[in-house]
Structure 1
């Protein structure tokens, strides 16, 4: 196999155009499918763009490892450059088996569909409270700040037992942590603040464990979990549960407004909602990529040989719009089967909170559209502000009227 020539593509893992991937990323997917690209970590990485290649790589935990540090790249001091804060303890996204499996086994029972249903009445209540507030304040409104952003944040805080008095501060800190325009100094300070807050949350739970997830972990697995791991789990779930679902709600509403016939189906036909959520996950792919992997052996993939020690990245928006996955992948169609899309990842690191995210979207989309059947954009479409500098793709704001 031959090595590919590096193309003039920079930061492709987070470059987007509208709802889809950037045109040069689409061209790469439809061409060789794989190329060497620059990374913030120093050495370049192989970028995968085809559904088959991305799915194969994500499913191969022996050929591609997550738990690498800068020492593996340069021989210097060991540091994981992907961490928001802390030493990486409890961060499933950058762990490999067996440590990953041990921690995930403890968490998985709390994220089954059956367990998530315990939260459903509270999610409905949170959604209705925010709809009431939207209605009280009146039209126009920013759907991101007044609906899409607070609902998932409050749900995940509910799951983890974050006190109500702490939630506004946490939500703002998390938003700033994930803003890629923040300086190194700002991110470091935010990381320290987050770490200190999580440490206090765990300390309080150790003293009086509640019925929330952290309390459950302490009651059932106290001797198997260090404080550092509990802090890492709390930090990961709060961040992951906040930004991803909120961006799906904001961007998904814009997508539905662009397709009024499908919006009407989500509003009026309960049986269409589940398929709509899956198609939105495929078509939007708000998580542009995930933690780059490091090859543990030489692997032939696509048109190249990936060498042992090479970094491998991937572009989920391109992979989810691969014609090998669905016919006419550029078309948004909630009536189709979205196939085995990668919106929640794949394999060992498939999103642990997928049942919760699906439930939130199945409740929040139709509830919004039923409450405001005349919902429409309050600004020209070209004035909608895309959050292109955030780790998770979405909208800065979505002005709507009814």
Structure 2
């Protein structure tokens, strides 16, 4: 169709923290717009908050990989449909999705995550010590955000962090569109083999971790267990690490907001929610496929049509958030969609908030004069890929 945009257009960022400018015009003119997917399918993309919530909450839209059209390529290659992968419930519909998610919900409640707060604070303090030992300047990503996120998630799941060299590189390589494909595949294979080994260890010697509890529950095969571990690591590590690192970068670029937060540390929780909304690091790969003809936004989405939901655009919709392009830690952020919406809303969001609270609090408390060690335009960004990130963030104090 002549009015359909290319799938590449909505990912063309022109500013460090802002979604592509095309969403402004799309939202005003056609918030449900035609888009040509990488495989040639002409589907849709939403840019409004209201339509995003409608699509993600409507059971007539599927998230199964058995149907649908991926809105991005993987290292330039179109991603094909494939059968359900046992345990990989993120791309399943009910009842399969419900079956797996129900087993894990109790592990990620606000109460369970809250019990990890003290441990998260300890880990953050230890990483602050590691930064001090390294000396100024230091890379906040390498020396703080990555190890903080990976350590806490590993402990919850049951992966021995002292062996992180066997699994920690795989998520980064998978999310990086510029990574060498062979290196990424090798890392994925090594991580999968390691997860199988850890499951076997926990069968013999259970510990107080998620893997051991799932084994004791007795409902899952080893294949399902390993795939669930893979999903939790790949969905929860890079996203939280990136939210922390890019969040620090954003605060350093908004000194008045940073000063207000330092003056009133009690605003930290509100500031985290605003940073999640403002940055929305989960930028791609949120799409659904119509199981029947559906009237949406004044258009008819035909059965089999795929609809991409831009979470960054939804979180910048002025119909929901006043002056959405501004970072404002005093704003009312309830209802933001940084963690998605509907039945697939991020399972680990409570844990992510605990990690971010510990991470920001320790960092701002330890380094009152924290600043960038390079010019802002020299900070290397990862603009493509499923997670918006900074590849490194040199800071000094």
TM-score above 0.5: yes
Q: Aligned ranges for residues 1-400 of structure 1 at < 5 Å?
A: 5-8=3-6, 10=8, 12=10, 15=13, 17-60=15-58, 62-69=59-66, 81=79, 88-182=85-179, 184-219=181-216, 221-222=217-218, 224-400=219-395
Q: Give the Å deviation of 1:8.
A: 4.5
Q: CA RMSD in A?
A: 2.3
CA spacing shift, 1:377–1:214, aligned 2, 3 Å: same
Deviation at 1:282, TM superposition (A): 0.5
Shift of 1:11: 5.5
Q: 1:267 touches 1:366 (CA, 8 Å); kept in 2?
A: no
3-state secondary structure, aligned to 2:395:
strand
Q: Which moved more, 1:275-284 or 1:361-370?
A: 361-370
**Are 2:65 and 2:83, in contact at CA under 8 Å, matched by a contact in 1?**
no
1:184 to partner: Cα distance: 4.8
Query: Alpha-carbon deviation of 1:41?
Result: 4.2
- Distance (whole Å) between structure 1 residues aligned to residue 181 and residue 300 of structure 2: 35
In structure 2, the CA distance between the partners of 1:280 and 1:399, relative to structure 1 (3 Å rule), is: same
* 1:226-250 deviations in Å (ceiling 9; x for gaps): 2222111100111122100110111
**What corresponds to 2:72 in structure 1?**
none
SS at match of 1:17: coil
Alpha-carbon distance between aligned partners in 2 of 1:356 and 1:14, rounded to the nearest angstrom: 31
Q: Distance in 2 between matches of 1:204 and 1:133?
A: 30
Per the TM alignment, residue 141 of structure 1 is displaced from its structure 2 partner at its CA by 1.0
* Distance in structure 2 (CA, Å) of the matches to 1:130 and 1:54: 38
CA contact (8 A) 1:120 1:359 kept: yes
For 1:110 and 1:313, how far apart are their aligned partners in 2?
30
Is the CA contact 2:292–2:303 (under 8 Å) kept in the aligned structure 1?
A: yes
How far is 1:268 from its partner? 4.0
Deviation at 1:181, TM superposition (A): 2.1
Report the Cα offset of residue 391 of structure 1. 2.0
CA distance in 2: counterparts of 1:248 and 1:393, whole angstroms: 9
Give the drift of 1:338: 0.9
d(CA) in 1 for partners of 2:296, 2:13: 23
How many angstroms does 1:82 deviate by?
7.6
- Would you say the 8 A contact 2:277–2:336 is kept in 1? yes
State whether residues 94 and 291 of structure 1, in contact with CA within 8 Å, keep that contact through their aligned partners in structure 2. no
Helix, strand or coil at the partner of 2:116: helix
Count of aligned residue pairs for this structure pair:
389
- Change in Cα spacing, 1:97 to 1:14, as seen in structure 2 (3 Å) is farther
| Contact 2:32/2:297 (<8 A) preserved | yes
Listed one character per residue, the Cα deviations across residues 353-385 of structure 1 (whole Å, up to 9, x for unaligned) are 011001111111121011000011111111111
8 Å Cα contact 2:169-2:187 kept in structure 1: no
